[in-house]
Amino acid sequence: MQASHPTRHPGSPGSSGFGAALPPTALVAPCDIVVFGGGGDLALRKLLPALLYRDADGQLTADSRIIAVGRSPGDTAGFRARVAEALHRHAGEVPEAIHQGFLQRVVYLGLDATDGTALSALAPHLSDQPGRVRAFYLATAPDLFGPIAAALATAGLVTPDSRVVLEKPLGRDLASSCAINDAVGAVFSERQTFRIDHYLGKETVQNLLVLRFANVLFEHLWSHAEVDHVQITVAETLGVEGRAGYYDQSGALRDMVQNHLLQLLCLIAMEPPASLDQDAVRDEKLKVLRTLRPIRGGDVAVNTVRGQYRAGAVAGLAVPGYAEELGQDSATETFVAIKAQVETWRWAGVPFYLRTGKRLADRTSEIVLQFRPVPHVIFPQAPRANRLVIRLQPDEGIRLHLMAKEPGPGGVRLKDAALNLSFAETFSGRLPDAYERLLMDVVRGNPTLFMRRDEVEAAWRWVEPILAGWAESGERPKPYPAGSWGPSAAVALIERDGRTWAEDIG
């Protein structure tokens, strides 16, 4: 697989790692991308627009194809009309001629993808050129991953150059995740399996590695010696939109913490990898997951808070509560706050406060490293401790808060001022969507930014006792009004340690 197109395509397997600098227009190997759940929200809103953008960047070869497979009957002409509409909505800035060319790549097949015989209908749409990359993207419910993989094998469609892409969530606990991995693993090797956590494809998340390991400034500060605590917030203003059916079975812990927040924590807490080799990075992340102190039994009530939004107002607009959106009562959490501890020499005694929720006051994903106060104060006014704020979205950037003397009369007045690296001001061009990079990495065969099986399972191992603790307590999630920062218990979680959530620091 690695050496399929070594000379024609600089972006082909083997030539790229996370760190390989490729020209932005490097072609990836010719490929057939099959999207199961092809008519679904993820495909129309994210995957197809991402592929269109990469087509516009000149990365797809002329003969690369996209086959959408869905359960609903339908034909290619009707599907292309739907795709055209979605692309205009989500990728409107791409020139029209490229839209038209892209649509010609797209084919639709309505069939039951768990039936190997039915799936044979896919064969005529796939190139049998040797070495051709086949990417099977399973944007379906996770309980279909195993059956679809088996049906692909039955239909004889899995070649050595095939890869399978699994959307999160991978199961709903450790046992179901293992069962899915086993079922998919019976058909695809680990090398062929790409488990998506789209946060890893975000430019600002990839930049965490660069910030930490391409600069000498921070490494000496990056430990319990100088860091007081870390906050990781992923706040959304949206509710559950059209996904209430899925979400109610999942909740914020499974939907966001088990994957996105823990991956962010890993990138902040991991030791420097020896290289950017796929396993060097993932080995270090895995070590972090394994050193997280388990939260179980009585600790669950002390170190976690779960909430559910009630009716309220977001950006001045009245919005219904979760149960009203769902149409029934529910004990599913739409908010979680957790105090986590990484039990290593580097991070001893440094809490990591994690927080995520829907219908919060603002859409913001941010990591804050709060440094320790100066050891001895010589000013009449105590300096505020330094803070490194890594803003993942929106207004992507990095701010280093320092104390400065406010100019002018009035003695030495200290002022918190920030060195501000704004992505929008510093870099020209658009910020690509996470799925663009990830889809191209699938075709290139580069799994560095994907989750390895052992990582996913280690994350479930840490999350499970929290789920169990909540189930045992029988306590319902604490209510919070839509448009707030979550239940007051989340404020108490950090304030009882004498600390404050970042938005309250100002």
Question: Pattern 187-226, binding to ligand BG6, x per CB under 6 A?
Answer: ----------------------------------------
For the chain, the residue count is 506
* CB neighbour burial string for 298-314, b if at least 16 within 10 angstroms, e if fewer: eebeebbbbbbbbbbeb
Contact flag: residue 248 with ligand BG6 (CB under 6 A) = no
**Closest CB to ligand BG6 among residues 248, 255:** 255
Ramachandran class of 486: left when φ > 0, alpha when ψ lies in -120 to 50, beta otherwise: left
Query: Does the annotation count 90 as an active-site position?
Result: no
Residue 25 CA to residue 191 CA, distance in Å, equals: 26
Size of the site for ligand BG6 (CB under 6 A): 2
Q: d(Cα 236, Cα 483) in Å, to the nearest integer? A: 10
Q: How far apart are CA 141 and CA 308, in angstroms?
A: 24
Alpha-carbon span 349 to 287, nearest angstrom: 18
CB of 36 or CB of 347, closer to ligand BG6: 36
CB 475 within 8 A of CB 466: no
396 part of the interface to ligand BG6, by CB under 6 A: no
Pick the closest to residue 391 from 333, 431, 337 (CA basis). Answer: 431
Question: Judged by CB, which is closer to ligand BG6: 115, or 503?
Answer: 503
Tell me how many degrees the CA angle 291-296-297 measures, rounded to the nearest 5.
155
Backbone angles phi, psi at 102, to 5 degrees: -65, -45
Helices (H), 186-293: 203-213, 244-252, 262-269, 278-291
Nearer to ligand BG6, 122 or 314 (CB): 314
Residue with smaller CB distance to ligand BG6, 107 or 232: 232
Smallest gap from Cβ 255 to ligand BG6, in A, equals 5
Q: Which is nearer to ligand BG6, 238 or 348 (CB)?
A: 238
Among 32, 248, 255, 333, binds ligand BG6 (CB under 6 A): 255
CB 129 → ligand BG6: shortest distance, Å?
34
C-beta of 46: minimal distance to ligand BG6 in Å? 9
Sketch the per residue contact string, 285 through 324, with ligand BG6: x for CB under 6 A, - otherwise: ----------------------------------------
Q: With binding defined as CB under 6 A, does residue 366 bind ligand BG6?
A: no
CB of 37 to ligand BG6, least distance (A): 14
236 touches ligand BG6 (CB under 6 A)? yes
Residue located via tokens 């029934």: 328
> Of 55 and 255, which CB lies nearer to ligand BG6 in the complex structure?
255
Tell me how far, at minimum, the Cβ of 389 lies from ligand BG6, in Å. Answer: 17
Q: Counting contacts by CB under 6 A, is residue 55 touching ligand BG6?
A: no
Q: Which of 5, 9, 198, 260 is catalytic?
A: 260
CB of 450 to ligand BG6, least distance (A): 14
**339 beta partners:** 353
Which residue in 416, 420, 359, 371 sits closest to 391, CA to CA?
420
Cα dihedral sign, 471-472-474-477: negative
DSSP summary character for residue 144: G
Nearest position to ligand BG6, beta carbon:
255
Binding positions for ligand BG6, rule: CB under 6 A: 236, 255
Residues with catalytic roles = 260
